[in-house]
A and B are shown apart, each in its own frame.
Chain A
Amino acid sequence: MLSLPWRLAVMSCVAFAAHWYAFQYAGFTNDFRDAQFHQVYEHVAASSISKYGQLPLWDPYSCGGMYALGNPQIRFASPTLLLSVLFGGIRAQALTACLMTTIGMEGTYRWFRQCGCSASSSVLAALVPSLVGHYGVAYFFGWINFYGFHLVPWILWGAGCALRGKISGVMVAAIATAWMIGFGGTYAPLMTIVFAAPVMLGQLYFRPALRQELRETSKLLALLGVFALGLSAVRTLPVLDVMRASGRVMAGLPGSPLPILGGMLLMHAPPSGGAISSAGLFFVGPIAIVSLGALGIFSLKRNPRFAIATLVTILLMVWLAAGYNVRPSLFSWLRALPIYSTLRYPERYLFFATSALALLGAQGLTEVQSWRHSEKPLMRRAGWALSISLTVSLIAGVAHQVVSLQVTTRELARTVLPEFNRDSEFRQARGNRWMGAHYLPINRGSISCGEAYPVPMSTDLRGDLPNEEYLENPDLGTVRRSAWTPNRINLDVTVSDAASLKVNQNWHPGWRSNVGEVVNRNGLIGVRLPAGHHQVTLRFVPWSAIAGFAISLLTVLLMIGIGRGRVHRLFALVIPIAMALSAVRASAWMPKSEPVNPDGTPIVGEHHPKIALNATFELPVELVGADLPKSRDVDNVTTFDLYWKVTGQVARSTAIFVHVVPKRGNLVTLDREVIGGTFFLSDAPRGVVLRDVFGSGALEPGRYEVYAGLWDPSSGKRFAVTSKGASDNRVRIGEFELE
């Protein structure tokens, strides 16, 4: 059978073939908008190390400066950073994708072998989940961090070893989890837990030998969790630093009906016009699915209970993948758990369903292979015939997957970046987040920002300054930049009196100065300096990164000590204690942002609406007042402000409807699901007045009446208005006229 190098060689060749066009275009920038910022993150991290000899903590090129290690989407906190350092962040993308795919194949092989599959069936079946079409889609969109899913089988294999009492399995699973998190997989580990739980329970339930040692194995699994937590602290603490200051807002009820999910798995539509249809999103292909399905039947004979458990896991994953489209929705229950509340894309559970199906297929192929050695001639012949035919069809299915991945990656929008200008000094530009990577060669940062979370940014950032570091009062002296690196800025400052220095980058409490005091100047980095001549050195040393590094290092030492039996396992409890203690220094963490409306005005505060309404509903929500437009603003926009107060429990599905009714013509709806783009009524602060601003750029001249109320968009039901004077369960706010 294939030895490790030959097996890896075969897997590498398949991964290489699948990424053939990715390599053809290695060195090109992926011009899809998401890919642009991902490429900037990776390039800046790699050049922080290779050019400046610094750890990639701060990224001055993105959004006017951001805590790079705290960004949930970065993938550089993983071993693949080495490839980016060697080849450059953009050129290394194809190599990273190919390496992760090979790693995924080997991990899946080991997991399948652990589940009792033969070596040949494991090699073949392991290729199927490692070539799922979504990897091509991820490459197309520049979501290289999705390749972190290739570490899932390593976690399962490691956890499986731990279940068998092997401490080495604990190490492998913990390293794979930390790698996955460091690779930008903030969802992936959470999703893996959901998949691993039934798989592990299945193994425990159907294998009495494992069950007998439950006490010991549960200790090892707990150790695995602690090690994974500790190893990934270098990444999770900075991410917590960022996310507690400004989280994401999840809305909607994502989900797909079963036929659409089937289309995602079976059909393949090449990208068109820079977009990818849902068909083929998780392409496995009819050949591979039919082959695995047919083999799955034989797995029932090999180990019926294990096969049924795997089948149940597949069904659970498909149920989750359907999202809110099925009732009851397993995905909605999952989202109700606090750490799963920001989970997106339920269809990604198809990836796990495919892995489980491939496991069934490997089991089935192992069974028919065993028939070849039967004493019964008919059985022997059937064994040979089935082994050969189903192996050939599975190879054909894998080939189909390879071609599909090639087609998807071939179509990505791309350009080549020009030579990097090494003489140009770093400055912030107005930039363009849609093509941010194109600012790298001219050594410019982009203050135009598009991230999945509200990045703390200053409105004082400018993209045209002659000097990036300047005195607030220029009459007080001079500032000269003597050295610049992403994490450290050296300045030669002379001031005749106490002065405020400003740096055209976003503030974070991790910025320190050797002279004076670093302060937040309306979101910019500011330094209060005494009079005199100073060699100012500003350095970015965030507490969460220091604590994270220390805990991760401590975990490595504990893993070595416990692994060798030199340290008692109970010492691992130091890790969660250290994690908890690191949170105590609250002043060192990024302060929580005040919630603001999309126009920058505060949502919570002392509000004084011009129209008092005090309308109440059957729900504990009050419409306190409103401001109606008197005319259009300079941009021809008609503006509205509603003031709400929530005093009790409200269902997540509760939303606001706003009807703008012209004297003549059709009603205009300006419905609101999320107040100020920040809070659902269900999670809005209680007992305070919330200002919700919105507008319309489409209202014609004329006279209008405005009504508002509460409803449930999923059922269409309006909630009753309990205050007097309302009809049709809506509150009349007033009227206005547009010229």
Chain B
Amino acid sequence: MFARVPARFAGWIALGVPWVLAGAMSTKAEPPPRPTTPLAGAVEAFANTESQLRRASARNFPRDSWSADDDFHNAEQRWVRGMASHPAPTFVFEQLDRNLRAGYPNASRRVTASPCKPRPFYD
């Protein structure tokens, strides 16, 4: 009887193998460590360039608030990705968030939303 069980279930066991492997692989990524170098200085330097970036975005997308805001955020994320010494962008965004909250209520930096108004789709 026991000899027949594996044969009956061989197909199901074979089916289980890739899924067990897939499940195991899905849990293996390790979170990165917190960076040891302080980010506050770099974020402050970026904050000082914000008004310049905002003006460039407004010229790139004249009278289009959402597109201009989005253009600014694109520049911001490029800068975050460019900080090659810090592997996890989350830590940079966390510092940006702290920096903005420390300046509440921010008069010189924009912290409000531009309602999403996607441009017409051409595809």
In the complex, are the beta carbons of B116 and A450 less than 8 A apart?
yes
| Interface residue from B18, B66, B101 paired with A598 (Cβ < 8 Å) | B66
Total interface residues on A, CB under 8 Å, equals: 90
CB closest residue in chain B, given A419: B31
What A residues does B111 contact at CB under 8 A? 430, 462-464
B116 CB to nearest chain A CB (Å): 4
Residues of B1-59 at the interface with A, using a CB-CB cut-off of 8 Å, are: 11-12, 14-15, 17-19, 21-23, 25-32, 34, 54-55, 58-59
The answer to whether A597 and B27 touch across the interface, beta carbons within 8 angstroms, is no
Q: What B residues does A128 contact at CB under 8 A? A: none
Please tell me if A23 contacts chain B, counting CB pairs below 8 Å.
yes
Whether B82 sits at the interface, judged by CB under 8 Å, is no
Q: How far is the CA of A460 from the CA of B111 in the complex (A)?
A: 10
Which A residues are in CB contact (< 8 Å) with B63? 597-599, 637, 639, 693-695
Residue A13 CB within 8 A of the other chain:
yes
Cα distance A674–B60 when bound, in Å? 19
In the complex, which of the residues A28, A435, A596 has the most CB atoms of chain B within 10 Å of its own CB atom? A435
Distance from A281 Cβ to chain B, minimum over Cβ atoms (Å): 12
What's the minimum C-beta distance from A103 to chain B, rounded to whole angstroms?
Answer: 13
Docked-complex contact A248 and B118, CB < 8 angstroms: yes
Asked if A455 is at the interface (CB within 8 A of a chain B CB), the reply is yes
Q: Judge whether B112 and A91 touch: CB under 8 Å.
A: no
- Known contacts A430-B100, A598-B66; is-contact A91 B27 (Cβ 8 Å): yes
Shortest CB-to-CB span from A441 to chain B, Å, is 5
A63 to B66, CA, bound (A): 12
Contact status B104-A438, CB under 8 Å: no
B120 & A677 in contact (Cβ 8 Å cutoff): yes
Q: Which residues of B contact A448 (CB under 8 A)?
A: 69-70, 73, 113
Complex Cα spacing A698 to B58, Å = 11
Per-position 1/0 for A260-302, Cβ under 8 A of B: 0000000000000000000000000000000000000000000
A250, B120: Cα distance in complex, Å? 5
Q: Chain A residues with Cβ under 8 A from B22's Cβ?
A: 16, 23, 94-95, 98
- A-side contacts of B105, CB under 8 Å: 464
B47 shortest CB reach to chain A, Å: 11
Are A441 and B90 CB-contacts (below 8 A) given A94-B26, A416-B32?
A: yes
Per the 8 Å Cβ criterion, residues 1-26 of A in contact with B are 3-6, 8-9, 12-13, 15-16, 23-26
**Contact residues of A between 407 and 450, Cβ < 8 Å to B:** 415-419, 429-430, 432-435, 438-439, 441-442, 444, 447-450
Given contacts A26-B28, A442-B94, 10 further A-B contacts (CB under 8 A): A16-B22, A23-B22, A248-B121, A430-B111, A432-B76, A439-B97, A447-B113, A459-B113, A463-B112, A464-B104
**Chain A: residues with CB nearer than 8 A to chain B?**
3-6, 8-9, 12-13, 15-16, 23-28, 31, 63-64, 87, 91-92, 94-95, 98, 248-252, 254, 344-345, 415-419, 429-430, 432-435, 438-439, 441-442, 444, 447-466, 523, 596-600, 634-639, 673-674, 677, 693-698
Q: Which residues of B contact A (CB under 8 A)?
A: 11-12, 14-15, 17-19, 21-23, 25-32, 34, 54-55, 58-67, 69-70, 73-74, 76-77, 80-81, 87-91, 93-94, 96-97, 100-101, 103-106, 110-123
27 contacts between A and B (CB under 8 A): A5-B15, A23-B22, A27-B26, A31-B81, A95-B26, A248-B118, A249-B120, A252-B121, A254-B123, A344-B121, A417-B90, A429-B93, A433-B70, A438-B89, A439-B90, A442-B93, A450-B116, A452-B121, A453-B116, A458-B113, A637-B58, A637-B59, A677-B64, A695-B63, A696-B62, A697-B58, A697-B59
Closest 10 pairs between A and B when the two form their complex, measured CB to CB:
A27-B29, A5-B11, A695-B62, A697-B59, A252-B122, A635-B58, A251-B120, A598-B64, A457-B115, A9-B14
